Amino acid sequence: MSSPRNIALLLIDFQNDMVHPAGKIGANGLAACVSARDILSRTRSVADVFRNYGLPVIFVRLAFQAEYVDSLSVAPRIAKLKAAGAALIDTWGAAIHEDLQPRAGDLVFNKQCVNPFFNTPLLSWLGRHNIRELAIAGVATNLAVESAVRYADDAGIAPIVLEDCCASVNDEMHQLSVTRILPIFGSVESSEKCIDRLSKMGTTQV
């Protein structure tokens, strides 16, 4: 890891429509995988460690304006989102899950696509705060997490995927991503290893 103050935690799409069993997207199996892997509890613990060290915690969620007027993609999945009425801003579905609520000092950015960097303030904020490493947790591993890792690498930010804080709609997709795809662009490790390295890099709790 780099300097203690040059790392942040990125949490992607931990919103009700994605990770709650009643979510309009999560009900397709994603929420069940999140629950089976204890993703929310483990991610909350990691986020608390980052906060205790005074390190940035950044949420990026999928949130569209009414009628999806800000949607750009023409892929078939967008038609499915619209039909379900999923991820509309200021609705329960777009809200961060109650088990992983943002705290004072956390950042929350909205996106209208898979990539958490595209058309959001994320990259400029990271650059302004000299963030060189980005620990990443979220759903789905093979979609938004992969997209974030690829973009971070292209931008010169070292991505660290917290494998046990990510999930896909099934374990096969998750494993393919973390074993074959993501290691090409960054490191893949457990949340425990990340926390252990934070404790050894001279970071002090606040």
pLDDT, tens digit (0-9, with 9 covering 90-100), for 110-158: 999 999 999 999 999 999 999 999 999 999 999 999 999 999 999 999 9
Residue 206 lies inside a defined structural domain of this protein:
no
pLDDT of residue 138: 99
Question: Per the structure block, which two tokens stand in for 132?
Answer: 């060189």
* pLDDT greater than 90 at residue 41: yes
Evaluate if residue 3 carries a pLDDT over 60: no
Please say if the pLDDT value at position 5 is more than 90: no
Please tell me the predicted confidence (pLDDT) of residue 9.
99
Q: Residue 181: give its domain's CATH number.
A: 3.40.50.850
- pTM of the predicted structure, to 2 decimals: 0.95
**Per the domain annotation, does 172 fall within a domain?**
yes
Q: Which domain holds residue 79?
A: 7-200
Is the residue at 1 inside a domain?
no
Q: What is the DSSP letter of 179?
A: I
Instruction: Give the mean pLDDT of the chain.
Output: 95
Grade residue 193 by pLDDT with cuts at 50, 70 and 90. very high
| Average pLDDT for 52-79 | 96
Answer whether residue 205 is part of any domain: no
Q: What are phi and psi of 182, to 5 degrees?
A: -60, -35
Residue 2 counted as domain residue: no
Would you state the pLDDT for residue 200?
85
How many domains is the chain partitioned into structurally?
A: 1
Q: How far apart (Å, rounded) are the C-alpha atoms in residues 47 and 93?
A: 22
Assess if residue 45 is contained within a domain: yes
Q: Is residue 145 part of a domain?
A: yes
**Tokens representing 80?**
């499915």
Q: Within a domain: residue 192? A: yes
